[in-house]
Amino acid sequence: MPARWERIHPGLNFHRNILKLVVQLKLCLSVLILVISLPGLYPGVEKIENPAQETFTASYAAETHPVTDLIYITENGHAEFTSSVPLHTFTGVSDYLTGMIDFEENLIDFYLDLESLKTGISRRDRDMYRTLQVDEHPFAEFTGFFSGSVDPDAGGIQSVTVEGEFTIHGVTREISLDGTLEREGDSIRITAEWILDITDYNIEPPGILIYRVRDEMDVRIDALLEPRERGEM
């Protein structure tokens, strides 16, 4: 697991090992109950008819298949912001949004290298990097969780809400975002849109000639996350 995500969730390996131990114990119990219940295996001992035992055996037998233990990852998600000055609008785009979703632990973490944002004009990009002080604060990051129920195996588009902390320009604030989640084959697609007031993060809106860039920016993300086993992290 990347160091930045292990920092967020240092107990991940411990919980995975506990889960594996529980599964192994259940398998042993399933075999033991199956052997005892075989008629004629132990002469002179009558088989006890116990509906509860049958239910117990069936429930453990159903769990003998391998447990899927996945984290969903992207390293090429799409992120963009749209800003404006009077009579002019421009958009910054990046396809290097990196993130993970851990449904078991209800953990979400996305970050973006701000120097990967491009507006189509090199000089404007340099002004943007200077405004964001990317030398000191190179990343924007969101860390949080789903605040409502989410079924990653469900079909169709689900409306979701996430809550957590968003950090940019060295300032961290709590936010709540609405978005969508949709399964696409084995992968998960997540989208979100929100309005970011840069003055909340001590960012001084730059000026273009006699005009000043609007304080509020429209932000949008769209990412397809691929499954990975925790052991591959």
Cβ neighbours of residue 217 closer than 8 Å, sequence gap 6 or more = 81, 82, 83, 195, 196, 198
Q: How many C-beta atoms surround the C-beta of residue 30 within 10 A?
A: 19
Separation between Cα atoms, residue 162 and residue 160, nearest integer Å: 7
Query: Which of 26, 42, 61 lies at the terminal end of a domain, its last residue?
Result: 61
Q: How many C-beta atoms surround the C-beta of residue 196 within 10 A?
A: 19
Q: What is the pLDDT along the chain (233 residues), one digit of tens a residue?
A: 444 555 544 444 444 443 344 334 444 444 444 444 444 444 454 444 544 444 333 333 334 323 258 999 999 999 999 988 777 888 999 999 999 999 999 999 999 999 999 999 999 899 899 999 999 999 999 999 999 899 999 989 999 999 999 999 999 999 999 999 999 999 999 999 999 999 999 998 776 555 677 889 999 999 999 999 987 76
Q: Tell me: do 138 and 36 sit in the same domain.
A: no
What CATH number does residue 142 fall under? 2.40.128.110
Q: Tell me: do 112 and 178 sit in the same domain.
A: yes
Q: How many helices (H) and strands (E) does the chain have?
A: 4, 10
Residue holding tokens 């090199």?
A: 122
Q: Tell me: do 151 and 209 sit in the same domain.
A: yes
Q: Tell me: do 15 and 108 sit in the same domain.
A: no
* Total count of domains within the chain: 2
Q: Tell me: do 78 and 14 sit in the same domain.
A: no
Q: What are the angstrom distances between the C-alpha of 212 and each of 84, 88, 134, 201, 207?
A: 9, 11, 20, 17, 4
Q: What are the angstrom distances between the C-alpha of 63 and each of 13, 52, 227?
A: 21, 17, 21
Q: Tell me: do 87 and 153 sit in the same domain.
A: yes
Separation between Cα atoms, residue 157 and residue 171, nearest integer Å: 33
Give pTM, 2 decimals. 0.70
Q: Tell me: do 17 and 35 sit in the same domain.
A: yes
Residue 82 domain boundaries = 70-232
Query: Which of 61, 82, 104 lies at the terminal end of a domain, its last residue?
Result: 61
Q: Tell me: do 157 and 221 sit in the same domain.
A: yes
Q: Are 94 and 79 in contact (CB under 8 A)?
A: yes
Q: Tell me: do 96 and 177 sit in the same domain.
A: yes
Compute the Cα dihedral for 34, 39, 45, 46 and give only its sign: positive
Task: Give the residue among 198, 194, 140, 197 at the shortest CA–CA distance from 168.
Answer: 140
Take residue 160 and report the two structure tokens written for it.
Answer: 């979701």
Q: Tell me: do 87 and 159 sit in the same domain.
A: yes
DSSP assignment of 91-158 equals EEEEEEEEEEEETTTTEEEEEEEGGG-B-S-HHHHHHHHHHHTTTT--EEEEEEEESS---TT-SSEE
Q: Tell me: do 47 and 138 sit in the same domain.
A: no
Q: Which helix (H) or strand (E) holds 210?
A: none
Q: What is the pLDDT of residues 14-49, one digit of tens each?
A: 444 433 443 344 444 444 444 444 444 444 544 445
Q: Tell me: do 41 and 81 sit in the same domain.
A: no
